[in-house]
Amino acid sequence: MAFGYKVTVKPPHEREQIIQAQLTSPLREVTSHDVFENTPTSLKVIRIPLNLPIYRMANGRTATQQLAYVSEKGLHADYFAKGEENEAVQQIQHEILKKFAKDGTEQITPIIDVLKRDQQREPIWITPRGLVINGNRRLAAMRELYTESPTDYAEFAHVECAVLPALTAEQIVEIEIRLQMTPETKLPYGWIDECLMIQTQINCGKSESQIAHVMRSRPKEVKAAISALKEVNIYLSDWRKAPGDYRLVEESKQFFYDLPGRLKGKTGELLEASRRIGWVLIDNSSELGQRVYAFNDMFGNKAEEVLSKLADHIDIDLDEEGESDDDDADIDIDLGDEAGNSTTYGGLIGAIDDPARREEITDGLVVVCQTIIDASRTAKQGKNALAAVRDANTRLTEVDLTKAEPSTYPGIAKQLDEIVLRGQDLKTKLQAYVQGAKSKEAAS
């Protein structure tokens, strides 16, 4: 028989009655220090039918998958939170947990394989009303195994549960963190799930220090997670147009942890334009030839240089705040060295955000970034100028005018005029430098 457990949900008062009846003659008692921190708590262990417990929806490990499902189906944001007693919602949560039960690593055996071999070794933790606080994946695995073969897995017709005392929602979250999100966890949470859990704690009024204490980490690590999640949410909402679909960033942890530091000190349009450099690069990381980490400076301390060169490359004019086309602009008023002037990037941001120009922007940005990176690498060897000229010459030989769109002819002509003038200017300067070098050599 194929896997296919069908979830049923008994009313809360019926679950509570069954659990209370079993508590009068428990199988045994266990002591835990994880219910209340550093306080031993005695828990009664009972056996209840496999179909009695219900999954907890505020499960940190499944948060990303829940949000993805909500996004795909166009459901209300609180679909899972409000559906804890709903059989259809419980069934969806079961399918999510079933997949997690099969997950493992080279060092960690999937839960479902452990249960096949060793049966149930530890009780799952439930509230007095049968809500599973710890052991959701194990419960899903046992349900699937029993459905697959009731004869081979007859012992899973009932499940051993340790019954917790009455707890607040905040206390339940703290238990989950102590049991699952510490460095000793058997199967670590995804990085986004961990960030979401931290944000939930912040929303509950917990300080970074308090969260760090519970998670056995450091406040700066908690702060970094909050900042990374903020950048993720901006990226998904503003760029990918898929708010809440955290699956899109599962492989990009390092980028989003690095991004806040690279954007530090930037404001306004420079901040937004710098973000977009990073977004384009992370979207095309597989084509960069190296990790995005190598491009961090491109949206960090070299962002303004990158934006200026990109604007030139795609023929976008960058204006200066404070400049004016009015006749009054001719009045000679000394405001110091360009006091109050700063580059505006609105036009460039608009071009980057235009889906029709996405391929052009990507190609141009990669060329610009790689040119800057190459120049930085050769600068220490005194070959920066030669490398830049050689690079420009190489790129010009790659131009194929037969494939150019007629609408781009004016722009091409403008760029070629600039190249000719710049080349002549550089050649004149070079002749002066050569003459100067000869004079110095003769003098010595």
The pLDDT value given to residue 329: 46
Q: Contact at 8 Å (CB) between 297 and 274? A: no
For residue 118, which amino acid is it?
D
Exposed (0-12), middle (13-18) or buried (19+): which is 385, by Cβ within 10 Å?
A: middle
The pLDDT value given to residue 280: 94
The pLDDT value given to residue 381: 59
HEC profile of 209-246: HHHHHHHCCCHHHHHHHHHHHHHHHHHHHHHCCCCCCH
Angstrom distance (rounded) from CA 21 to CA 52: 14
For residue 293, which amino acid is it?
Y
| Average pLDDT, 10 consecutive residues per value, the chain (444 residues) | 79 96 95 87 96 94 90 92 96 93 67 88 94 93 94 95 93 82 54 89 88 86 95 95 89 95 94 95 86 90 94 86 50 45 85 93 92 76 74 86 88 90 90 82 76
Angstrom distance (rounded) from CA 295 to CA 288: 9
| Strand partners of residue 131 | 54
What is residue 102's three-state secondary structure? coil
CA–chain centroid gap for 45, Å, is: 40
Q: Specify the long-range contacts of residues 39-45, CB closer than 8 Å, at least 24 apart.
A: 41/165, 43/125, 43/162, 43/163, 43/164, 44/162, 44/163, 45/123, 45/160, 45/161, 45/162, 45/163
The pLDDT value given to residue 400: 87
For residue 113, which amino acid is it?
D
What pTM was computed for the model?
0.64
The pLDDT value given to residue 392: 86
Exposed (0-12), middle (13-18) or buried (19+): which is 292, by Cβ within 10 Å?
A: buried
Q: Contact at 8 Å (CB) between 291 and 255? A: no
| 85 CB neighbour count, 10 Å cutoff | 15
